[in-house]
Structure 1
């Protein structure tokens, strides 16, 4: 290493707070608050490794980096040299159109290590690493100018955890896997992988900005604490950029849930697109109302019921009505035309009526119709009609095949001023909402009305600390018809295992750019305090914060609007009493309305009972909340 490079390296170390040893090939990258440290080292055999420490506690021991090619060669390895090391600091901010908060600090330190070798394909590669205050991330790049391409057998990235921690995993439309000890895992697992390490140390493993290749899959052999990347990356060629491998960190699980780090690792929107039309908000929905009856009126998925739902939405200030399957014919029939079929004329009339009332109309599109008919023409027609969004269902193919199709549809929707929601096994969120703010949510969970075989109170308070870490999710919470036994509804006539208060609280707790309510107006109007709580959820949020919680146990979430602070709490099958300090409030006196489960409420036997109280409070007060088994609490604070 020449003197010029040595001087530069030392200056870099001072500027970024990094400790770099030029003689051993060791590099340390610290977070802006200096509490997180990523150690990167080139071993004697030329391979790269990393380790991760938080608050002086080792959490991930030395773990491999790089790729194994189809030729069985590992890169980097023997013959690879570190040619250059560069770094930078960023102390900026991101102001999303919508999100968990109005202003997101974008603070990180970055280190780029450039490696070269005399010959071979590729002959240059970069490791780019970033340290934020709530996690680290790294990606691989093949600089432009490399000739040829290299087929990859596997990615070498590994996570060698320092101890036998406890983990939970996303599991499609089933219970989350976990809690399980790391040594109990045997086989593949899907992110988000949320980890409870030693006391006050939580991690989440995910990815960000997946452009090419298969979405992240993890694997481990039984009896080990080592997890590796099982998903096959794209071919390495000039200009290749991998997804960011992300390790989120928090002293509580709520820090993981509140983070925007995944989004920050995605690029800003293309300046060619104007996204000022993107408006998050509450929506009503026609799928679950089908068959419901109230005082002689039977709801169906048809024009008279749609008009009734639009009128209700307008009265409450809800922004949207979502039309689900079969409006243009049987959704899986190959001859169901997504523009000309069945109720297309009614839909156009409904869109016009909705515009008069200030309510946008979403249109369902099944993958069968999306692929058989020209998708460009279909989405353009929806935009020309004035539709507000598209709910895209049952996308076919592998996750690797789904990703480019999802990206294409998202961009086409943006061109036609359409919001978009993906259902039925979608590609996991990886921060798309920053680049494409119209990508407001997806069913990266099992929507609770579909999930009677798996959905229980503990499912909810696990999902919010696992699935929701990845990004906005559409769980369809907020069912208020919780009567015992079967109802007249056509689809899923069983009640949700929850309480009224918990159902309302869940609509606030779940992060989504569109909160889709499943019930008929009359059941909401039956409970004025809870309906007011729903109507008060005026996005975009100014601030969001998980105030308390534990994975699989309970959660307390605060979200702030322009004129109110709202709090939602939910618990698992165990009832509990929570002391809630009001330190999140600003200075001043607030009128508080508190909705709790009744003393004898229970998620299985007495769901539809609640009590309402009002009081004046300040940020120095502590409220005691009683949550029934499977229950919750809803609070609204208005400054005097």
Structure 2
């Protein structure tokens, strides 16, 4: 339909509507969609100028009337609406829990030129536009107060806490918002099929944010929780993505802990110097085999200098050593991830490279330094993920990747990505407050590769960034559980883990896929306590704090009923992330469902609890 015909149709519909209103045959449209538990309400109204929505949670308005619709096609003419309730379940290949309720109420608003679809869940709502390729949105988020917000900020600490009226310019999702101590929200998107990834424009001096990226074929999402942990535990982003294609089998996808060769480079132990080469790789495979660890990740330069166009990802560098490693690891049942970046991925045929890695028997692909616009990077990410799935490879995107938006449902091989500042990466470390902010911001988008789990806190002798880690050993171990990822990549050498057998016991107990997950307590930028039930029915609990020491009481009402042998690892009384990183104590009490465990967290510290059922 050309522009003239569109305008003619709009004028005709306006005339029909005016006559209908005059003669009492049509009243202004107004529909309220509630969540299945009736606690959330999204009210949609048609005004003289626009269609607007507002959001109420637990009787409190959190988003005032905000415009919804597209620009460049005239006012959305609301011709018809329909409502339906959907209640089903999703059983993910892997994820935060084994069974996920998929329960929502949906309204579909039919217009002359496009449709607006809205779904309201118990933990938020989402909307999308269907039926037109118009690129500009009118979408607003007009918050009902001068709330506090945090935002994704690349491989840097998050922006925030920042009052909404103080924000200026462009902000990237996830945008996490604290309205008050009982009302939290987060703005993101789901199922970004095409178009530019989401960007938000802050209108300084107001509490109004608008979408300023080109309109995308995606869901616009508002998560909600009475606590920030409720949003951490949400599956709404994934549920808005389609299930895998019927012709694809993902039973081969096995999430778990992995070791990594990048951070070991230069470390020495018992007269052996670690390098990124076969002798060191074999030692890492042996360690993985002894400790129920799934795989070893090879990083850059194995096929030649990573940014050289002459480095052939199928023939260059240490290729013969890699073939020997793949055979050695296969005999032990350990997977090997292979690194590839955009130079090698675009200089040489990508499909042939990925197919060959699959035929070699590799377990996964770590893809780094992707170039292009965000829209181009998203298309390339989709292509790589698909090619990896077809060749039974897991995939991890690094170095400024496109934000996750629930792909793990459609593509369960998309197990993690560096949508954060990873520890010891980017040639710098991050502070404790950065961690306990990122888990409430970045991690709402999906699984993260943050590479925690250091035990050599001083990092002496390492080739890349030998910087002391601003954390405690206990906190580093706790973070391996807290961070949601299908590949928990730990960065140290075997000998250092073996010096701390209780720490290693906790990490090796992180057997996935998780059967259950619960963020117990926490606050953005302050602390978090996370519990997960392992594939072999152990409960693991981890706590981490910011630069402040704190004592926490952890209720065991979240675990299964019964009695447990507990292994509790907590910071020593003299521990401090600045001065004494390695002090911790271990106790082994017997505990039961319904009790409380009290743990001490040093400044920048943490605690780990392993619960093994006895009866």
Residue aligning to 1:23: 27
TM-superposed CA distance for 1:74, in Å, is 3.9
Check the 8 A contact 1:66/1:74 in 2, yes or no: no
Residues 340-379 of structure 1 aligned to structure 2 (within 5 Å): 340-379=315-354
Deviations 1:410-433 (A, max 9, x none): 000000000000000000000000
Q: Aligned to 1:623, what secondary structure does the other structure show?
A: strand
Query: Would you say 1:192 and 2:174 are equivalent positions?
Result: yes
Measure, in 2, the Cα distance between the counterparts of 1:198 and 1:627: 26
- Work out the CA distance in 2 between the residues paired with 1:253 and 1:291: 40
Give the deviation of 1:271 after TM superposition.
0.7
Q: What residue number does 2:87 align with?
A: 91
2:181/2:227 contact within 8 Å kept: no
Residue 220 of structure 1 is aligned with which of 179, 202, 208? Answer: 202
- Of 58, 61, 69, which residue of structure 2 is paired with 1:58? 61
The equivalent of 1:551 in structure 2 is 524
Residues 134 and 250 in structure 1, CA contact (< 8 A), matched pair in contact too: yes
Give the 5 Å matches for 1:202-213.
202-213=184-195
| Residue matched to 2:489 | 516
> TM-score, normalised on structure 1?
0.91
Measured after TM superposition, the shift of residue 620 of structure 1 is: 2.2
CA contact (8 A) 1:212 1:233 kept: no
- C-alpha distance in 2, partners of 1:105/1:620? 25
Q: Secondary structure at the match of 2:451?
A: coil
CA drift at 1:580: 1.1
Match of 2:5 in 1: none
How big is the shift at 1:84?
2.1
Question: What is residue 127 of structure 1 aligned with on the other side?
Answer: 116
Q: Is the 8 A contact 2:429 2:467 kept in 1?
A: no
Q: Distance in 1 between matches of 2:486 and 2:394?
A: 9
- Cα deviation per residue 1:551-582 (whole Å; 9 max; x = unaligned)? 00000000001321000000000000001111
Q: 2:410 aligns with which of 419, 435, 445?
A: 435
Match of 1:67 in 2: 70
Question: Shift of the alpha carbon at 1:83?
Answer: 2.4
Does the alignment pair 1:538 with 2:511?
yes
Structure 1 gap segments, 5+ residues each: 1-20, 117-123, 144-149, 235-241
Determine the structure 2 residue equivalent to 1:37.
41
* 2:558 alignment counterpart: 584
Residue 146 (structure 1) aligns with? none
Q: Which moved more, 1:620-629 or 1:163-172?
A: 620-629
Give the secondary-structure state (helix, strand or coil) at the position aligned to 2:399: coil
Question: 1:313: which partner in 2?
Answer: 288
If the length of structure 2 is used for normalisation, what is the TM-score?
A: 0.94
Tell me the C-alpha RMSD between the 2 structures.
1.2
Q: CA deviation at 1:22?
A: 7.2
Choose which of 426, 431, 439 in structure 2 pairs with 1:464: 439
Aligned pairs for 1:388-467 within 5 A: 388-450=363-425, 453=428, 455-467=430-442
Select which of 590, 596, 605 maps to 2:579: 605
1:599 positional shift:
0.5
How far the C-alpha of 1:489 sits from its partner, in A, is 0.6
CA distances 1:526-570 after superposition (whole Å, capped 9, x unpaired):
000010000000000000010000000000000001321000000
**Separation of aligned partners in 1, 2:251 and 2:559:** 30
User: Equivalent residue for 1:502?
Assistant: 475
Aligned residue for 1:183, secondary structure, equals helix
Q: Assess if the C-alpha contact under 8 Å between 1:215 and 1:400 holds in 2.
A: yes
* Distance in 2 (alpha carbons) for counterparts of 1:626 and 1:198: 27
What is aligned with 1:141? 130
Change (3 A) 1:559 1:22: farther
SS in 1 for 2:503: helix
Range moving further from structure 2, 467-476 or 84-93: 84-93
Find the residue that maps to 1:408 and give its secondary structure.
helix
SS at 2:257 equivalent: strand
Q: Say whether residues 1:102 and 2:98 are aligned partners.
A: yes
Tell me how far apart the structure 2 counterparts of residues 155 and 444 of structure 1 sit (CA, whole Å).
26
Residue of structure 2 in register with 1:614 after alignment: 588
CA drift at 1:151: 4.9
Whether contact under 8 Å (1:202, 1:251) holds in the other structure is yes
Q: Tell me, in whole angstroms, the C-alpha distance in 1 between the residues paired with 2:334 and 2:594.
A: 40
Whole-angstrom distance in 1 between the partners of 2:52 and 2:26: 16
